[in-house]
Amino acid sequence: MSTSIEQRSDFRKMALFVGVGLLFMLGIVFGGFYAEAYINPWLKGKPERYGQTVLQTPKVVIAMENPQPTSALEEILKAPVAPPADDPNLKVREGLILWLRADAVPAGIKHSDLVAILPDASPQRNHARQMYPISRPRYSQGEINGKDALHFDGKDSFYYYENNFGISPATVYAVWKRKEYGGQPFQRLYSSGGFGTDYENAKSMPPGQPAVNGIYFSAFDPKNDGTDIIDATQQPVAPNTDPTLHKNISTQPVDLRRFMIGRLNHGPVQFFSGQLGEILLFNRALNAEEQKQVESYLTAKYKLNQPAQ
């Protein structure tokens, strides 16, 4: 009798040992996947899951394969950047912490060239830098009603700011367009949020960090039938080919850390496929008169025929 009890006890111990071992192995597998898919690309500054990519675009901008990522981090960070020429038509400057314009690419950049560094025209000089050629947008002359744009391929290209902007109220403006329906669902024109937090609803956050949302915009948010819908910020997705003026204002503090232009900031997914003419980021909520001034500047410059969405 005692032998039978001892055998059952040994069986339970063995089953427990095997179960714990399996859970440990699964933890290693899924932990490794998470590190490779999410953490590693952030640390290295590139979406490593994709390898070489031949970029494609409805407009013939690209005539060659994307180069291998060869630039050193030190090289791209130390490269001198001349401040771009000012555009006096933008009157609102208080709180302007990022002002990227496709018409301010460095001298010598030609149509279809990869843009490694895009000078920031704001007083903060938060220049956009992308050390990996595979992840650089391409310069596209005259793309938006005769004005220049940056082409994001929907696969790899993006710009990334690790911790430049902190936590504050915010106003974001952008002029952008998509050439056609389709592509990867939930394309993010920009996205932010501190490391380890949920960018939309702050479900989790590291100890000591405030539980605040990031800020983001989906340039494409499809239904199951492939048609566009209202995105998560309750703003309509742009018409198919028309340039669009985007506006996003938060009077409450939002998490602007890990600010990415061209993809989701939590993992190498949801890349934007389209053209970006200009993006402005303020660390405060603009008042009604200031909004009117900024929108007037962008509408006139890009010959837009729609109000800000």
Residue 125 lies in a domain: yes
Taking only the tens of pLDDT, the chain with its 309 residues reads 555 555 556 667 676 766 667 777 776 655 554 544 444 444 444 333 332 332 333 333 333 333 444 456 567 777 788 889 999 999 999 999 999 999 999 988 999 899 989 999 999 999 998 878 888 999 999 999 999 999 998 888 999 998 889 999 999 999 998 865 545 667 889 999 865 554 555 444 555 555 578 888 888 766 544 445 555 555 445 445 688 999 999 998 988 988 999 998 877 888 898 999 999 999 999 999 999 999 999 999 999 987 877
Position 56 scores a pLDDT of 31
Residue 73 lies in a domain: yes
How far from the centroid of its chain's Cα atoms is residue 101's Cα? Answer: 16
Q: Mapped to the 3 state alphabet, what secondary structure does the chain carry?
A: CHHHHHHHHHHHHHHHHHHHHHHHHHHHHHHHHHHHHHHHHHHHCCCCCCCCCCCCCCCCCCCCCCCCCCCCHHHHHHCCCCCCCCCCCCCCCCCEEEEEEHHHCCCCCCCCCECCEECECCCCCCCEECCCHHHCCEEEEEEECCEEEEEEECCCCCEEECCCCCEEEEEEEEEEECCCCCCCCCEEEEECCCCCCCCCCCCCCCCCCCCCCECEEEEECECCCCCECECCCCCECCCCCCCEEEEEEEEEEEECCCEEECCCCCCCCCCCEEEEEEEEEECCCCCHHHHHHHHHHHHHHHCCCCCCC
Position 124 scores a pLDDT of 94
Residue 155 lies in a domain: yes
Question: Domain range spanning residue 106?
Answer: 45-302
pTM of the model: 0.72
Write the CA distances from 54 to 50, 180, 221, 272, integer angstroms.
11, 19, 24, 16
Structural domains of the chain, count = 1
Residue 18 lies in a domain: no
Tokens of 264: 């989701």
Calpha distance 100→148 (Å, rounded): 12
Position 170 scores a pLDDT of 96
Calpha distance 243→47 (Å, rounded): 28
Which among 78, 92, 84, 232 is positioned nearest to 148, based on CA atoms? Answer: 84
Which among 300, 309, 299, 259 is positioned nearest to 283, based on CA atoms? Answer: 259
Residue 29 lies in a domain: no
Residue 1 lies in a domain: no
Residue 169 lies in a domain: yes
Residue 31 lies in a domain: no
CATH of the domain at 76: 2.60.120
Which among 50, 77, 102, 122 is positioned nearest to 267, based on CA atoms? Answer: 50
